[in-house]
Structure 1
Amino acid sequence: MTAPTFDVIAIGNAIVDVMAPAEDATIERLGLAKGGMTLVDTARAQELYDAMGPAKEISGGSAANTLAGLAALGAKCAFIGQVADDQLGEVFAHDVRAGGIAYATPMRAGDPPTGRCLIFVTPDGERTMNTFLGASQFLPPVALDETLIASAAVLYLEGYLWDPEEPRRAMRRAIDVARAAGRMVAFTASESFVIERHGDDFRDLIAEGMIDILFANEGELATLTGESDFEAGVAKVAANVPVLVATRGPHGAIAIAAGKRAEVAAEPIAKVVDTTGAGDLFAAGFLSGHVRGLPLADCLKRGAICAAEIISHYGARPEGDLKALVAARTG
C-alpha cells in the first residue's frame, strides 16, 4: 500500500449557509422544528428566506465544515461535492479552495441551483436548519475522482448526503474504492431523521465492517440502536466499529477503540452563540489527532476545543486560530 497523499477526503453536501437571528416566536409561527434539520423544496426555501431578518452567508455543508477545521489544523484535505454553475456555486468553490482544500468536482449546468441551508438562530444559541439540497443531490458516481479517493488516508462520508439516490450510489462506490486501496472509512450519522430513513443501510454497513470510524451524537446513537440508554447504545455499536465517537453536547464526549475508552468534558466558553457545526468541528479536531496517531483522549480533547470555538460565534467555519487554540489548551 502506498503512502497517502491526503489525510482526509470527504464527500458531502456543497451548500451555502444563510444564517439569521430569530426569536422563538418566529420559529413557532413558521412551524419549524426547533433545533432540528428539515429538508425543504424550492417554494418552502423561498418562503423561509423571505421571513428571515438580515442574514449572513457562509459556505457550509457538514463534511465541508469538517474539512475546513481539519485544514485549519494543518491537515491536507480534498472535497467532492456538487454545486451548480451559478453565483452561489462560485462562492462555495472559492471558499473551499481558499481554505486550502483541494476541490475539482465539475459544476452542474442548469437547474436546480446550488444548495443552501436557511438557519434560524434563537437567543439560546440553538440553530434550526432548513436545507434545500439543490445541485448537491445530483452528485453522480461518474463525478468521483477515484484516484484521489484512493490517495487519502481517510474517506469521510456525510450521512445527510445518503438521502438522495445519486450521491448514495456515489458514496457506495467511494467506499469500495477506499477499501480496495486499504484506506479507512469514517462516517458521520448527521441527523436522526436520516437514520430513520436509512438506518437499515447504516446498520448493514456497520455489520459488514465497512465503517472504521463512526461519529454520532447521543440522539443519533439512540435512533441507530433503538436503545434509549446511552451506555446500552454505546455497547451495541462499539462491538462492531473499530472506533466509535459519541458526542453529548454540554456533557462532553466519549470514544471507544479496541476495547479502550476515553472521555472528555466539554470545553468551557463564556457564551454559546450558535451551535451550528459543533459536531462537524468536533469531528475535525478528533480526526486531526487520529491521522497523526495520537491517543484517544488527545483526539477527543482536540475535538472539544474545536467544537467550543465554533459555538462561540455565528457560522460553522472557524474564525479563531484553531492551531493556536489546540496548542494552548493541550500543552
Structure 2
Amino acid sequence: MSETRLDVLAIGDAVVDVIATASDDFLIEERLTKGSMQVLDADGAAALYAKMRQARETSGGSAANTMAGVAALGGWAGFVGQVADDQLGEIFAHDISALGVEFLTPAKADGEPTGRCLILVTPDAQRTMNTFRGAAHELSVEALDAEQIRGAAILYLEAYLWRSAGPRGAMEEAMRIAHEAGRKVAFTLSDIACIKPHRAEMIAMLDAGAIDLLFANENEIMELADLPTTDAAIAALQDKVPLIVVTCGSEGAVAVERGRRVSAPIARIGKGVVDTTGAGDLFAAGFLVGQARGKDLAESLRIGAIAAAEVISHFGARPESDLKALIAA
C-alpha cells in the first residue's frame, strides 16, 4: 500500500454557516422544531435570514467542520464540496483553505448559488439548523480528484449530502477509488432526518462492505436499525460494519470493533455547554485523527471527547482553543 498524503479527506456540504441566537418563542413563531434540521428553498432561506438577529458567517457544513477540527488537531485534512462562482463561494474557499484544509474542488459558473445553513441557538444551547443546499447538492463525479482520494488514509462521507442523486453518485465513485487504493471509508449518519428516506440504501451499502467506520448518535443508530434501544441497534449492525462509534450525550461515547466494546466518558472544558453546534463534527474529527495516527479505540475516543467538549464551550462550530495542547494535557 502506498503512503498517504492526507489523514482524512471528507466529501460533504459546502455551505456558509450563519449563526445567531434566538428565543424559544421565535422558534414557535416560525414553526421550527428545536434541535432539528430542515431544508429550505432559496425564498425560504431569504425570508428566515431577514428575521434573524445579528449573525456570524463562516465556512461551514458538517464534514467541513470535521476537517477544520482535524487540521486544528495537527492532522492533514482535505475537503471536497461544491460551491458556486459567487461571493459566498469565494468566502467558503478562502476560509477553509486558511484553516489548513486542502480544497481543490472547482467552483461552478452556472446553476444554484453557494449553499448556506441558518443556525439558531436557543438559551439552552440547542441548535436548530435551516439549510439551503444550493450548489452543494450539484456535486458530481467530474468534480472528484482521484489522486486526492487515493492519497488519504480515510475517506469521510456525510449523510446530509447522500440525499441528492448527483452527490450520491460522486460519493459512491469516491468509495470505489478509496477501497481500490486500500484506504478506509467512514460514514456519518449526520441527522435522523437523513435516514428514514434512505434506510434501505444505507443498509445495502453496509451489507456490501462499503463502510469501514460508521458514526452515529443514539437516535440515529436506532433509526437506522429500526430498533428501540441503542444496544439492540448496535448488536444488529455490528456484523455489517468493522467499527461503529456512537455518541451518547452526557453518557459519553462507545466504540464497537468486531464485537469488542470500548466506552469513554465526556470531557469537561471551560464553562460547560454554551452552544452544541458542531459537537458531533468535532468528536468525529478527534476520533478520525486518532485512528489515522494509529491510536487505539480508547485514545481515539478520548481525543474525540476533548475536541467535542472544546467546541460546545463557546459559540460556533469551530475550535477556538489550542486542541493539540488540550489533548497533550
TM-score interval, normalised by the smaller of the two chains: over 0.9
**Superposition pairs for residues 224-235 of structure 1, below 5 Å?**
224-235=224-235
Q: Gaps spanning 5+ residues in structure 1: where?
A: none
| DSSP 3-state at the match of 1:38 | strand
Q: 2:3 — aligned with what?
A: 3
Q: 2:286 — aligned with what?
A: 285
1:61-105 alpha-carbon deviations (Å, 9 max, x no partner): 111111110111111111110001111111110111111111110
Q: Distance in 1 between matches of 2:107 and 2:31?
A: 34
Q: Give the AA of the match of 1:300.
A: L
Q: Give the AA of the match of 1:100.
A: G
Q: How far did 1:135 drift?
A: 0.5
- Structure 1 stretch displaced more, 164-173 or 110-119: 110-119
Q: How far did 1:317 drift?
A: 1.0
Q: 1:87 — aligned with what?
A: 87
TM-score relative to the length of structure 1:
0.97
- Structure 1 residue 129 corresponds to structure 2 residue 129: yes
Q: Distance in 2 between matches of 1:290 and 1:258?
A: 15
Q: 2:214 — aligned with what?
A: 214
**Percent identity over paired residues:** 53
1:266-297 alpha-carbon deviations (Å, 9 max, x no partner): 11242311111110000000011111111111
TM-score relative to the length of structure 2:
0.98
Q: 2:319 — aligned with what?
A: 318
Q: Distance in 1 between matches of 2:169 and 2:48?
A: 31
Q: 1:158 — aligned with what?
A: 158
Q: Give the AA of the match of 1:320.
A: S
1:177-230 alpha-carbon deviations (Å, 9 max, x no partner): 111111100000001111011111111111111100000000100110011111
1:137-156 alpha-carbon deviations (Å, 9 max, x no partner): 00010110011101111110
Q: How far did 1:234 drift?
A: 1.1
| DSSP 3-state at the match of 2:317 | coil
Backbone CA RMSD of aligned residues: 0.9
Q: Distance in 2 between matches of 1:123 and 1:290?
A: 35
CA contact (8 A) 1:16 1:59 kept: yes
Q: 1:51 — aligned with what?
A: 51
Q: Distance in 2 between matches of 1:250 and 1:50?
A: 35
CA contact (8 A) 2:268 2:306 kept: no
Q: Distance in 1 between matches of 2:142 and 2:112?
A: 19
Q: How far did 1:50 drift?
A: 1.0
Q: Distance in 2 between matches of 1:313 and 1:237?
A: 35
1:208-264 alpha-carbon deviations (Å, 9 max, x no partner): 111000000001001100111111011111121111000011221100113221111
1:162-183 alpha-carbon deviations (Å, 9 max, x no partner): 0111101100110111111111
Q: Distance in 1 between matches of 2:147 and 2:197?
A: 31
CA contact (8 A) 2:65 2:278 kept: yes
Q: How far did 1:14 drift?
A: 0.4
CA contact (8 A) 2:285 2:304 kept: yes
| DSSP 3-state at the match of 1:305 | helix
Q: Distance in 1 between matches of 2:101 and 2:81?
A: 12
Q: Distance in 2 between matches of 1:56 and 1:102?
A: 23
- Structure 1 stretch displaced more, 127-136 or 1-10: 1-10
Q: Give the AA of the match of 1:44.
A: G
Q: Give the AA of the match of 2:285.
A: A
Q: Distance in 1 between matches of 2:2 and 2:289?
A: 20
Q: Gaps spanning 5+ residues in structure 2: where?
A: none
Q: How far did 1:16 drift?
A: 0.7
Q: Distance in 2 between matches of 1:232 and 1:259?
A: 13
Q: Distance in 1 between matches of 2:100 and 2:289?
A: 15
- Structure 1 stretch displaced more, 176-185 or 251-260: 251-260
Q: Give the AA of the match of 1:191.
A: D
CA contact (8 A) 2:243 2:256 kept: yes
Q: Give the AA of the match of 1:158.
A: E
Q: Give the AA of the match of 2:156.
A: Y
1:90-138 alpha-carbon deviations (Å, 9 max, x no partner): 1110111111111110001134111000011000000000000110000
- Structure 1 residue 258 corresponds to structure 2 residue 263: no
**Superposition pairs for residues 86-125 of structure 1, below 5 Å?**
86-125=86-125
Q: Give the AA of the match of 1:156.
A: Y
Structure 1's consecutive aligned runs of 4 or more residues displaced over 4 angstroms after TM superposition are none
Q: Give the AA of the match of 2:251.
A: H
CA contact (8 A) 1:58 1:315 kept: no
Q: 2:245 — aligned with what?
A: 245
